[in-house]
Structure 1
Amino acid sequence: MEKANNIVLIGFMGVGKGALAREMVRQDSSLYALDTDDMIESLTNTRIKKIFERAGEAAFRALEQKTADWLAQNVENAVVSTGGGFFKVNNLERIGTIVYLKADFDWIYKRILNAPNAKKKLKKRPLFQDVGKAEKLFEERFEAYEKVADIVLDVTETDTEEMAKRVLENVKVKNAGKS
């Protein structure tokens, strides 16, 4: 099946995928933003944290796959911000152009801690409750993110507005090369 005309933002939790998606839509009104975690919460009428507590990570990953299947079949012209583990779905490449937002762990952690609603941001990330475990998970994932990505962009020291411009330009160049 052909790749959908979407931009899929992947990267570690807290790297800024949701904020970037919203800024990209602000800059390009032909796009709209979707967040896979929000979609799962809407589907289940349950917060992500509660899904992890009640059903476990495997059940959550199955919901991610269900969401990926729906996105690949039904969505065009969207910027899709994903949860940190969403890159593992088996049809990611069919959803759209995959952009890995790369940053080191310390930068991500400081970004979350310096957010105006830092406690809330940390609380809603079940896998970030133990910083040592989160850092270990980051180390396990960062090479895997690069392997599945069509485009890798370092987001450190770049504001959201500039990063949105960079992503939109890179995706345009990449897609122009396919024609």
Structure 2
Amino acid sequence: MDKIALRRPIFLCGMMGSGKSTVGRKLATELEVPFCDLDEMIVEKAGLSIPEIFEQKGEGSFRALERKLLIRESQYFKGVMSLGGGSLQNQHIVDHLKIYGWLIFLDVPHSVISDRVEGDANRPMLKAGSSEKEDNASGSKIERLLEQRLPLYRQAEITVNAGDRPADEIVHEIIKKLTLYDGFNRR
């Protein structure tokens, strides 16, 4: 495969457990560009894990830091960035990311997401506001979050049906789709 030159950064969006970090790392390696995980950046800046931020400072504080870092970094970043599942908080953020880079949605069915994140203690959104254990186990919390976030995710320039597909296959589909746009040049 010919190598391609990335002119604009790539922002991977989708639900928790959709594979954004795994696919993002492989995509960055394939394109020979830097990789950044927004959640890791938040942890580094806050000096706390994501569950600790939620517990000690609340979701509002987490979202404010997430928004601040995303808006700032997206203007200068050159590579592939995986976003948190709730990073697309509003229309302003979606529009901002699409101005500065390619927004790509990894679309994964809620049943696959539920299987991947079930019992993961590092997923505070599955705990936040949920008083019933059955709510988490049934996947209905994930379904509600997905329903709320889909209108923003679906505004991505590119959607890849990721499901249970191998990360390498998803990466090659992303590259194939991006080569149809002017944002890629052959090297």
TM-score by length of 1: 0.83
Does the 8 Å CA contact 1:8/1:95 hold for their aligned counterparts? no
Q: Which residue of 2 aligns with 1:26?
A: 29
> In structure 2, what is the Cα distance between the partners aligned to 1:175 and 1:158?
27
Aligned-residue RMSD, C-alpha: 1.9
Which of 140, 152, 167 does residue 132 from structure 1 map onto?
140
Which of 146, 156, 161 does residue 154 from structure 1 map onto?
161
* The 10-residue stretch of structure 1 (130-139 or 42-51) with the greater mean CA deviation from structure 2: 130-139
Give the Å deviation of 1:112: 3.5
CA displacement 1:35-86 (0-9 Å, x = unmatched): 000001111111111111111111111111111122123211x110010011
Matched position secondary structure for 1:43: helix
Equivalent positions of 1:46-85 (< 5 A) are 46-76=48-78, 78-85=79-86
Quick check: which has more Rg, 1 or 2? Answer: 2
In structure 2, stretches of 5+ residues that fail to align are: 1-6, 128-135
> In structure 2, what is the Cα distance between the partners aligned to 1:92 and 1:73?
8
- Structure with bigger helix share is 1
> In structure 2, what is the Cα distance between the partners aligned to 1:58 and 1:95?
25
Which of 1, 16, 19 does residue 16 from structure 1 map onto?
19
Q: Which residue of 2 aligns with 1:116?
A: none
* The 10-residue stretch of structure 1 (83-92 or 52-61) with the greater mean CA deviation from structure 2: 83-92
Paired AA for residue 61 in structure 2: A
TM-score by length of 2: 0.80
Matched position secondary structure for 2:85: coil
Q: 1:50 to 1:176 in 2, by over 3 A?
A: closer
- Work out the percentage of aligned pairs sharing the same amino acid: 28
> In structure 2, what is the Cα distance between the partners aligned to 1:84 and 1:104?
14
CA displacement 1:109-164 (0-9 Å, x = unmatched): 22335xxxxx5xx11110123343232111222232102x0111100142100101
2:95 is equivalent to residue 87 of structure 1: no
Paired AA for residue 169 in structure 1: K
Q: Which residue of 1 aligns with 2:131?
A: none
Which of 104, 107, 113 does residue 102 from structure 1 map onto?
107
> In structure 1, what is the Cα distance between the partners aligned to 2:98 and 2:53?
26
